[in-house]
Structure 1
Amino acid sequence: MADNRRSAPFYMTATTQFGLEEVLAQELRQLGATIEKVGQRAIEFTGNIQLLYEACLWCRTAMRILKPFASFYAADEKALYREVGRVDWSKYIRQDQTFAITAVVNKSTFDHSLFVAQLTKDAIVDQFRNRTGERPSVDVKNPDIRLHLHMIENEVVLSLDASGESLHKRGYRQQTNVAPLNEALAAGLLLLAGWDGKKTLIDPMCGSGTLLTEAALIAQRIAPGLYHQGKFGFENWADFDAALWDSVQLDARQMRLEEPQAYLAGSDLSREFIELARENVAAADLEDFIRLGVRDVKEAKAPAKEAPGIVIMNPPYGERIGDELEMDALYKTIGDTLKSGFQGYDAYIFTGNLEAAKRIGLKASRRTPLYNGPIDCRLLKYELYQGTRKVSKPE
């Protein structure tokens, strides 16, 4: 058998969240991928099987890594059923395996993705039944093989999903009753902030600690996929190379840096949140790298002995009716804290409340549009200069 490390490159797609496309493209480039196209919420790239395994293990901002294997035009239901039936499904699914299909339908004559998924499933199952008299079962929750069908204007692409569980679900997060940032978005905010994994990083409203945990993973060069629960999708594929996968994981474990690389600290007014943060940090085995404490944001200030770096936070947005006054006061406090306690730092505020953000009272030098779930958000950058910036006139 040919050595898979040198196997021929093939097409892949990595999906992400709106606004993180360039960050993910850069992550893939660093792994050695050739970027073919940066689309909306998706990056098309080429690489070999080793790169596919590494992308699942290392990409901090990817949701899924897909491997397309068939494409065709389907004008109507009959054509879709017929074209799906032309694929030799025994190459991709064994009849003792379970499978599931996710369909995404855009601008096509089919108006319903669930219907398209159902029709595709029927075509696959019928092929097995006709050939062998037996059929693989569907398991929507935890299938062996996840298929992805993308239809845009009746052009269909079928892909195998290499990820299994979505890659943003790292597995270190303990059950929380708070609505934390998703891990891929948290990593994306840090990478958008241009944080290098070396500078001081402070989160004075850290909640359950997702930003700090992701920061520690970046600083200590830890592959997020090492926390992945259960199998990756590609481990159930017919061409799975177990020896290559073992070596990719071994390389990743050896990349981890044991010495703390950056001063990382977070605080929150809520003792309960700090307890949750401690549990998450412990589950990720990162206690040596993150300092946590209970503190009101108005008491927060830069650590005396550390060189200035980044202060980053995701304050509440105030979704409830009647929150306006409380939010205005909170964002004014955040502004006061930044001005008095963090001179020389770059501040990044991620918020979905752009009205309240005006109360920060600083001029944003950059505004990056993103989403937190369905909420339209901005990552606002503020440069906090040392003292006031007076220009001395020539004598």
Structure 2
Amino acid sequence: MPESDTFEFYASASPGTEKALCDELRELSFQSVRLNRSGIPFRGPRSEGWRACLESRIAQRIFLVISRFQASDQDELYKGVQSIDWSPYITNDHTLSISAFCAASNINHSGFAALKTKDAIIDQLRGTGTARPDIDKDDPDVRIFVYILKDKATVYLDLSGNALHRRGYRPESGEAPLRETLAAAILRMSGWDRKTPLVDPMCGSGTIAIEAAQWARNIAPGLSRSQFGFERWADFTDEDSQELRQLIGSLRSQASGTAPKIKASDIDSSVLETAASNARSAGVRLSFKERSLFDIQGDGRPGFIVTNPPYGVRLEADTDFCRKAASAFTRLHGWTVAILAGDPDLERAISTKPKTKLPLKNGDLDCHLLVYEID
């Protein structure tokens, strides 16, 4: 794939974070960025796909679009997949993972679509004398995704490898961790300007504070990763590897040493050592303290709280906790308070109407980002 060619990419987003991802990609100067449901398309040379993996804080995965074709039945799907030249991506030494999604189409079973895709790829490789590649659902060299909507198929390759929330700085976490990509999204959606002091009084494993510090210091989130999926493709050469190292070096040089005051605390002392270890791995200096949310005090100057309280199945629901938390938040006059709330009791306990209420998904849990401006 020549670097001068223009490719189409697709950045997938957690439900509710699409606009935040679109704004982020535009801010990062990606081209032909469009707001779309569930994800954001953009275009550019292939190195722009690499850069998106390194720089996007919000994208779940980055995909390369390699083909579109009519797929009204299994024969059309098979022929369409087999018409793709797979040699730039796959050799007999590679392992594959193939998944599919079907909607409003004659082919309505995702497992069947994935199986026909696998058959077409393997038959093409056999025809060229290449041995059959193995399937590996856990850690494949090449991840392939087929999306069929209204009998039209789009075939994607996943550049990411492991999902992009796996930054590489958090090998372990406290109970019910918040994904890094969602933490980055709620920081942006909260309206935080990367200059105002920020507090997370229920920090758990430290994800919100770490993501805030990296964003404020312009530390690219992918710099902690050991590898991306595209590095395992057949056509990723030594020259490509050198170009990638140069890109990584350029991004490292853009990081700044300054950030606003960011404080993180939790009443559970057992998670704080893990949080501190995660921060060190992420390359940010943060102080984590054992402290109750109810002890937080403002100092008369503006500040931000961005936090993910315990809720629902995450920890046992406690209506008394919700009432006390609401009281603590409303004492912070002049502050902005952004809460990823999955427990409706917490929203009901805060008498102030939120300035912003946005539906989100935290894993399989429905929740809302509630943003309050405390007078």
- TM-score normalised by length of structure 1: 0.89
Code of the aligned partner of 1:210? T
Correspondence for 1:310 among 304, 328, 347: 304
Secondary structure (helix, strand or coil) at the match of 2:32 reads strand
Task: Encode CA deviations 1:125-178: one digit per residue, 9 max, x unaligned.
Answer: 111112205222222222222212111122111112111111111111132251
Correspondence for 2:296 among 292, 296, 300: 300
Shifted more, 57-66 versus 151-160: the winner is 151-160
| Unmatched runs of 5 consecutive residues or more in structure 1 | 386-395
Structure 1's 377 and 337: CA in aligned 2 closer, same or farther, altered over 3 A?
Answer: same
Question: Aligned pair 1:9/2:3, yes or no?
Answer: no
Code of the aligned partner of 1:282? R
Contact 1:147 1:159 in 2 (8 A): yes
- Quote how far apart the aligned CAs of 1:361 are: 2.4
Code of the aligned partner of 1:213? I
Structure 1's 233 and 24: CA in aligned 2 closer, same or farther, altered over 3 A?
Answer: same
Question: Aligned pair 1:79/2:94, yes or no?
Answer: no
Correspondence for 2:321 among 324, 330, 333: 330
**Which residue of structure 2 lines up, in the alignment, with residue 246 of structure 1?**
245
**Which residue of structure 2 lines up, in the alignment, with residue 365 of structure 1?**
355
Contact 1:33 1:46 in 2 (8 A): yes
Amino-acid identity (%): 34
Contact 2:100 2:110 in 1 (8 A): yes
**Which residue of structure 2 lines up, in the alignment, with residue 351 of structure 1?**
341
- Quote how far apart the aligned CAs of 1:36 are: 4.7
Secondary structure (helix, strand or coil) at the match of 2:165 reads coil
Contact 1:206 1:266 in 2 (8 A): yes
The separation in 1 between residues aligned to 2:6 and 2:29, in whole angstroms, is 11
The separation in 1 between residues aligned to 2:314 and 2:196, in whole angstroms, is 36
The separation in 1 between residues aligned to 2:323 and 2:14, in whole angstroms, is 30
The separation in 1 between residues aligned to 2:175 and 2:199, in whole angstroms, is 20
Code of the aligned partner of 1:371? K
| Unmatched runs of 5 consecutive residues or more in structure 2 | none
Secondary structure (helix, strand or coil) at the match of 1:38 reads coil
**Which residue of structure 2 lines up, in the alignment, with residue 278 of structure 1?**
276
Task: Encode CA deviations 1:236-266: one digit per residue, 9 max, x unaligned.
Answer: 25155223212110111111112x3110001
Task: Encode CA deviations 1:83-107: one digit per residue, 9 max, x unaligned.
Answer: 2222222233122222221212222
Secondary structure (helix, strand or coil) at the match of 1:88 reads coil
The separation in 1 between residues aligned to 2:92 and 2:76, in whole angstroms, is 24
- TM-score normalised by length of structure 2: 0.93
Structure 1's 229 and 105: CA in aligned 2 closer, same or farther, altered over 3 A?
Answer: farther
Contact 1:12 1:67 in 2 (8 A): yes
Larger-Rg structure: 1
Secondary structure (helix, strand or coil) at the match of 1:90 reads coil
Contact 2:336 2:373 in 1 (8 A): yes
The separation in 2 between residues aligned to 1:132 and 1:16, in whole angstroms, is 39
Q: For this pair of structures, how many residues does the alignment match? A: 373
The separation in 1 between residues aligned to 2:357 and 2:340, in whole angstroms, is 10
Structure 1's 251 and 70: CA in aligned 2 closer, same or farther, altered over 3 A?
Answer: same
